[in-house]
Amino acid sequence: MHTHAENGHTIAQTNTTNPTDVSLNRLKKIFHYNSQINSTMDMYQCPECNKNYHGGYCQPCNSGHFRDGFKNWTSYDKRIDKSIQESQLIATDKGEFLEWIEYSNLENIEHVAEGGFGNVYKAIWKDGPITDKKDEIKDVWYLWDVEKSKWIRQGETVVAVKKYKSATNMSSEFLNEVKV
């Protein structure tokens, strides 16, 4: 048997000839460690479905709101749309998804630099990204305004915008680069 420290925890591992046993033991230890972390996170009740969840993100409700909004936007490239939509459906926290910003939602666009693949601009995103808000009375964080049936947004936010020279032929490498 040998031991080693990992993330401040000592893990003992038995020498074995079966790599599956090692992998399963390792997964059990990781699961146990993550369960301990999750049990210390704050529990919140979703104001929509009334189910309890860890942290500040009700994944079933938020992915449903994203899905309902798919018909309201498009990049006009099915691969880009699919990448954005997948990130929205599998997100488990507010920083784990992509959003499509319509050009009409940008202002004060300034050229910053030119590169081999295109140009970089600085702009103000008028609505800004989705953000969370705390309901002080219910002591809950949420991203969706139930009364207004819309996302809570940060408001004016400075963003970088890239305009590619060959935007009609996006490569798989580019799409992999922008995935969360």
CB-based contact 176:83 (threshold 8 Å)? no
What's the confidence (pLDDT) of residue 14? 33
Band (pLDDT 50/70/90 cuts) for residue 177 is low
Does 78 have pLDDT greater than 80? yes
Q: Give the Cα separation of 178 and 80 in Å (integer).
A: 10
CA atoms within 13 A of residue 154's CA, in its CB half-sphere: 11
Helix H or strand E encompassing 158: strand 157-164
pLDDT score, position 178:
59
Beta bridge partners of 107: 124
Q: Are 143 and 114 in contact (CB under 8 A)?
A: no
Does position 104 have pLDDT exceeding 80, yes or no?
yes
pLDDT of residue 115: 81
Q: Give the global pTM.
A: 0.69
CB of 55 within 8 A of CB of 93? yes
27-31, 139-143, 156-160 — most confident range: 156-160
Mean pLDDT: which of 48-52, 143-147, 151-155 is highest? Answer: 151-155
Q: Which whole number is the average pLDDT over 59-80?
A: 94
Which ranges of the chain would DSSP assign to H, the alpha helix? 19-40, 59-69, 78-90, 172-178
Flag whether pLDDT at 125 surpasses 80: yes
Mean pLDDT to the nearest integer, 73-88:
93
Mean pLDDT, residues 19-43 taken together? 48
SS3 content of the chain, % helix, strand, coil (to 5): 35, 30, 40
Taking alpha carbons only, the member of 151, 141, 154 closest to residue 65 is 151
How far apart CA 33 and CA 30 sit, in angstroms, is 5
Asked whether the beta carbons of 163 and 133 are under 8 A apart, the reply is no
Tell me the HSE value of 77 on the side-chain side, using a 13 A CA sphere.
Answer: 15
Is residue 44 exposed (0-12), middle (13-18) or buried (19+ Cβ within 10 Å)? buried
- Which has the closest alpha carbon to 140: 14, 52, 37, 33? 52
pLDDT of residue 48: 87
- Quote the pLDDT of residue 22: 42
